[in-house]
Structure 1
């Protein structure tokens, strides 16, 4: 196959589907051209390439912008706290920990019910509605005049935000194939780091508005955040494509929707089915949920994100003494490291490692252990301390890989996939709701020795869990190929019909297992 055509063809007729799919599968099974490693769609037929271009442009753009505003609104409390809110509201104990915990409690309560709801209703209605809700509540934070009022608002902001990340991961996993998934999941995830970075830059900028119209700079931060968030939330009603079996987005033709459905059938990705007692029994008796959930719990709590360590280190410095702008801007180095690491690992995983997820998860865990042990010692050279604080961003790169792996492992049951994705994120935040109160206490800032030791141990458990999942998944795929693994526990499935093995499964011994 030569260079890809610069003029992709739109798929208008369903009669063209068999030819497009046949060419796509033929190309997939041949050695890839060099440009495949730049972007996977360049190796596909023109019709499929144009379909993916439109899907990426709509879904990934909205998902990234939505996650950007989620993290902007989630982490602005840290930027506001170190930029005058602490002094203005008299927050001199562990109130910052309680504010983060209130958000986490709301987030945990909402995740699993929301993702289950997404398998029954249109995501293009539910998710934007919740985005609009948290944007309005962010405006309200600007008028909060006590720690108690912030606790209440943060709880409901967390509840509204709980719909977004697991929901969008579920949608992304419903449209993309094995060799496409990690890059999209990781591109989506990088928006969290960019949102955190932008929160610091934004606080440095709006701090100049301190005192204007009788409001402090940190109050202007919440107002500007809300102004940015609201139009992005409204755009979701038009750009979220739902899932292929019920999709009617304005930017895809009917034939392209059918192509999407066929692609998921080839991937072994199941469509939506009713929740039954047998289905719940099957989901909760499988190793999938019991191993993938701890994997994400150890990842999500294995970093220093529970406390603004870098900012507090700079604020506590006496020689040199940093300005408010520098305290907000310098820590964004960590987020820059996370962005670069996330995208690099995604391309390496999908391309050079042919779909392997676990080697990079193990690598990220090892880097994190090195940095956290160094920070636990604390009395280390200043340059190395800055390097360690920056390199903590490497661990943040693993979220998209963990989610992509979960989509692939749970590909044969749509409802299991939705529940597992939600439970991974939810249980991660259950631990995050109380762990910071013990190991990331504000009164110990910035030398959080207990916190650094704790996350080092969690990173070690992340490595052990990833290696265990690798073994279990390899064994399961072998059973599927040998026909010894039955899916008959779900009463809604036809017991006489053999389980389909996806193309990703058929080569799983080299693709990440």
Structure 2
């Protein structure tokens, strides 16, 4: 595949490697070693192993810790709600949308204002980090890194449950209630992680100034992206914007992510915890038992990633289809509701199978939009932004607190959203296949 020549020279800190340099920077392996199925770095040259070790340490550590604290903030609102915040503040149905540290809030109005400001500040983190990941890693590496990054949100969910179970016993200490201590401790954890991002994130290969990379390693990074056919940055022009808006990429990939983010609602809502509360379980139990769902999410996320990068040879759509099928099975059972208690536990826990394909959707997007860096950035932002826009109003219609935990509209809507997600994924698969064939013909002619 030819490499697009849309480099923006004024921002380059290092020259692009020549073809001779590319040959010397990335030694060719005669035969893939079985260790690549464990972790792809193990099957590379010592130089590339050293480079990827630094890259993983910087990007994956900061990205994962950052997303961990972001999701910890979001899940804390649910755990605080079921642990006494509802009674203390008189909160209404909008509780499921609030994600702010609010230990000092004394009324709902304060929460609304703070939530808007925090949401504005954090909105670019996930698509921004996915864009950075897509700017450094090759196809056989991309799914794992994107999914490891995404799995950190599930770790945040689990940690929040355990944290709430622990700090609830601080109720009354220094005048703070147990749920308020949850947000105080969250802040202590978050600040050092946030500051470390300024020091260690490497930006993108063509402009990086990361001190821990040597000039040769920066050339190696640029060569790796050239080998992938992944374009460098270029100026935004009206022609480019029109090209992006006239392509199916931005519309179908955004639609796919909307369906993903809004289709696994039972795992995003505290239905499991509310049901446990109705069954008479203790505060500690209703905060810790739902972490089984997030444990399943972590496990399936990593399984999806490793299978997609290795066994499926970079194909992203099979795990997405499997995820949709699991959504249909779980939500069909919960729509019926009057099912054996054991299977109800199973449905709430297996709902975690639906949450692990976000990283693969982004990895797929990076590959589909590889030839245009600005399109890749715009589509990444559009996917996240539009999916979250829908998520701000859809739960108010289908996941109403007064219907919890039965949620007759929520479970039924999730089934149809999953069907739409599967159909959209298969459409993208078809169109991407045609696109790859066209690229191959173009490359042959050149």
Is the pair's TM-score, using the shorter chain for normalization, greater than 0.5? Answer: yes
Aligned counterpart in structure 1 of residue 262 of structure 2, from 293, 301, 317: 301
| Aligned counterpart, 2:308 | 349
Asked if 1:236 corresponds to 2:197, the answer is: yes
Give the structure-1-normalised TM-score.
0.81
| Aligned counterpart, 1:362 | 321
Instruction: String of CA shifts for 1:181-201, please: whole Å, max 9, x gaps.
Output: 000000000000000111111
Structure 2: distance between partners of 1:175 and 1:340:
25
Q: How does 1:77-92 map to 2 (within 5 A)?
A: 77-91=77-91
Structure 1: distance between partners of 2:352 and 2:43:
32
Q: How does 1:33-112 map to 2 (within 5 A)?
A: 33-91=33-91, 93-97=92-96, 99-100=97-98
Shift, 1:19, TM fit: 4.3
Structure 2 gaps of 5+ residues are 1-16
| Aligned counterpart, 1:172 | 133
Aligned counterpart in structure 1 of residue 244 of structure 2, from 283, 291, 299: 283
| Aligned counterpart, 2:416 | 457
Instruction: String of CA shifts for 1:120-175, please: whole Å, max 9, x gaps.
Output: xxxxxxxxxxxxxxxxx73xx11101111001111111111112100000000000
Aligned counterpart in structure 2 of residue 404 of structure 1, from 345, 363, 374: 363
Shift, 1:31, TM fit: 4.2
Aligned-residue RMSD, C-alpha = 1.7
Give the structure-2-normalised TM-score.
0.93
Decide whether the 8 Å contact of 2:26 with 2:220 is kept in 1: no
Asked if 1:185 corresponds to 2:146, the answer is: yes
Q: How does 1:430-441 map to 2 (within 5 A)?
A: 430-441=389-400
| Aligned counterpart, 1:310 | 272
The DSSP-based 3-state class of the residue aligned with 2:263 is coil
Instruction: String of CA shifts for 1:266-313, please: whole Å, max 9, x gaps.
Output: 111111111110010000101111111111111110112442111111
| Distance change >3 Å, CA 484–CA 269, structure 1 → 2 | closer
| Aligned counterpart, 1:507 | none
Which fold has the larger relative contact order, with Cα–Cα distance below 8 Å and residues 6 or more apart in sequence?
Answer: 2
Shift, 1:427, TM fit: 1.0
Aligned counterpart in structure 1 of residue 372 of structure 2, from 413, 436, 439: 413
Structure 1: distance between partners of 2:93 and 2:38:
47
The DSSP-based 3-state class of the residue aligned with 1:301 is helix
Shift, 1:33, TM fit: 1.5
Q: How does 1:144-155 map to 2 (within 5 A)?
A: 144-155=105-116
Decide whether the 8 Å contact of 1:169 with 1:403 is kept in 2: yes
Alignment length (residue pairs): 428
| Aligned counterpart, 2:11 | none
Shift, 1:331, TM fit: 0.2
Structure 2: distance between partners of 1:230 and 1:420:
30
| Aligned counterpart, 2:5 | none
Shift, 1:316, TM fit: 1.2
Decide whether the 8 Å contact of 1:20 with 1:45 is kept in 2: no
Shift, 1:95, TM fit: 3.7
Structure 1 gaps of 5+ residues are 1-13, 104-136, 486-497, 500-513
Decide whether the 8 Å contact of 1:297 with 1:431 is kept in 2: yes
Aligned counterpart in structure 2 of residue 220 of structure 1, from 178, 181, 184: 181
Structure 2: distance between partners of 1:427 and 1:457:
19
